[in-house]
Amino acid sequence: MGEDLLFFGHPDIILSSRSSSGGLFFNPFAIGGGYAGPSAAASLNPALVAGNQRFSLDFGYTGVFDFGGEGKESGESSHFFRTGALLPTHAGVFSADFLWNYGALAESAFGRNAVFTAVFARDVTPSLYVGASFTAGFNFNGNGKKDDYALFGRLGFIYKIGNVFFLRSAAFSASLSQIGKTFNGEAGGGSFPPAFTPEAGFSASFLEARAFSAGFSLDARIPSFYRNAAFSGGLYAVIAESVFICAGAVLNAREMAAGNGCDFFAGIKYNLTLSGGGSGALRKGEGWKGSGASFSAVWQNRPGGLSLISAGATLNKGERTDEKGPSVVIEAGSK
User: How do residues 1-42 score in pLDDT, each as one tens digit?
Assistant: 667 788 888 888 888 888 888 776 665 444 444 455 678 888
Q: What is the mean pLDDT of the chain?
A: 79
In a domain, 324, yes or no: no
Domain-embedded: residue 115: yes
Asked, for residue 174, whether it belongs to a domain, the answer is yes
243 vs 86, 97, 309, CA distance in Å? Answer: 22, 25, 19
Statement: residue 133 has pLDDT above 90: yes
Domain assignment of residue 334, yes or no: no
Q: Is residue 325 situated within a structural domain?
A: no
Could you tell me if residue 226 is inside a domain? yes
Q: What total number of domains does the chain contain?
A: 1
- Report yes or no on 7 lying in a domain: yes
> Domain residues for 289?
2-317
Tell me, yes or no, whether 20 lies in a domain: yes
> For the chain, first and last CA: distance in Å?
79
CATH number of the domain that residue 46 is part of: 2.40.160.40
Say what percent of the chain tops pLDDT 90: 28
**pLDDT tens, position by position, 297-314:** 999 987 767 889 999 998
Residues 21 and 46: beta-carbon distance below 8 Å:
no
